[in-house]
Structure 1
Amino acid sequence: MRITPTITLSVVLVTLMLGAGAASAFYSYKMGYEALKGVSQPDVNPTKKLAGSSQKSAEIKEFVPVNEKDILKKVNDYIKSKKNSKSSSNKPADKKEPTEAQKQSSVNPPKTQESVQANFPLQVQDQGVTLEIVNAIEQGGSLLLDVSLKNNGEKAVQFLYSFLEVKDNRGNSLSAITDGLPEELPATGENFQGKIKIPGISLNQGQLLSLRLTDYPDQKLQLSIGNIPVVR
């Protein structure tokens, strides 16, 4: 058999292809081996573990009934605790000793409106002119004094009510507004009635007021009334 160049070339190519395939396979095996060197097979099969857990959960536990005596004991203790808490809440509080202020108020009780009203009327007279405070009431946050003026003197008297002075027991001046009182009081003995309004901003229960009225322009007439109680 005659070997031609074509057959020789074909054999050489086949040999090269087989060598290249063997070298590629060896190189791939080596790379895979190096990559899986740190990987090992698990000690326990996870499928067996899942099967075991499912089998354990499927097991039926035995029912153990609760002791009836334990239940009755707990109920009895609960009822007793409720009764004790209820009785402690209904227990009357301890009586406290009265304070000094309460003792003092019991010895000297505050004046009622009736006792204050019993102090009226308050009256002052000078040179035949009489000023009388008939009553005092609290209205709208102000103290209203019902007053009357009468002149039994020999001549008429004029008043300028801006000269009216009202002070508390500390000497503080208070504003006062007159209503219905005459500017000139004739010497006829006629009784003229009116009101004096004292705003109650600075007035407190238990205070005593003083009032002073003089004639105008001579200012010789002195009509002064003190110890006027504040009514609330």
Structure 2
Amino acid sequence: MKKSIKSDRTLLLTSILLFFMLAAGILSGVLGFISGHEALKGVTQPDIRPNNNKGGNKQNINTKGLELLQEQELIANVKKQMGIEEPKKDAQQAKDAKQKASAFEKAVKNDPKTGLPIAKLPIVREDQGISMTVKSIESKGNNVRIEVAVANYGSQPINFGQGISVINDRSQSVSANTSGLPSSLAASGKEVKVMLTIPKNALDKVKSVSLQLTDIDKKLQLEASGVPVGK
């Protein structure tokens, strides 16, 4: 008899426990559903169905596709934010080059004897006490000869590198022979004569050149630009 009562109590307690667990599960599910429903209020799934204008209900739905941003526009906006200036447009660069060429043609005249433009000589450039002077331009045989004088008015001797570089008006290096330029120029203030000899075939369709002179350490920057050598 006692065992039967004890078994009934155990069964009752187990049933009550299962009931409470089931009720708690149901309550938890209901609360989760309500919370999710409240959180998703106002959120709707986009209608991706094609428009169907058949039948009595015709609706004009204005759909807009995905907009792709242009790469150039993105780059321009980034450069603008970073404060990077855009380079000049090709048309503007061509215009500037044309204006420079026109100004050059007005500034010089051709020598009737040599056929070379008459330059406004001397052309003098100075840097760190070193001077480079373009004194004369002469056509001789198959070559064009440019006489240059260099002088050191500083307090220290200057050691030159590979001589005087010649660059044409298309920013191309021109082959030239340099004679008379010493490897080291004393600080005496005395002018040293240097002769540049350029083959005429290296100056085809070239109107002017730039003469560039630097030292071994490339701290010296001397450049005489606009030296006329072509018709």
Q: Using structure 2 for the length normalisation, give the TM-score.
A: 0.49
The structure where helix makes up a greater share of residues is: 1
TM-score (norm 1): 0.48
Which of 1 and 2 has greater Rg? 1
